[in-house]
Amino acid sequence: MAVYRIYDLTTASSFECPDDKCILDAAESAGLDFLPYSCRAGACTTCVALRISGRVDQSDAAFLTEKEKELFVITCVAYPSSDCVIRTGAESLFYDQQRALQQQLTDQEARQSPGFWF
Question: What are the C-alpha distances in Å from 33 to residues 9, 27, 82?
Answer: 16, 7, 22
Whether pLDDT at 111 is above 80: no
| Mean pLDDT, all residues of the chain | 90
- The reply to whether the predicted model has a pTM over 0.85 is no
Query: Which structural domains are found in the chain, ordered by start?
Result: 3-111 (3.10.20.30)
Span 1-38, pLDDT tens digits: 899 999 999 999 999 999 999 999 999 999 998 899 99
Half-sphere exposure (Cβ direction) of 43: Cα atoms closer than 13 Å: 4
Give the pLDDT score at 113: 64
Span 63-87, pLDDT tens digits: 888 889 999 999 999 999 999 999 9
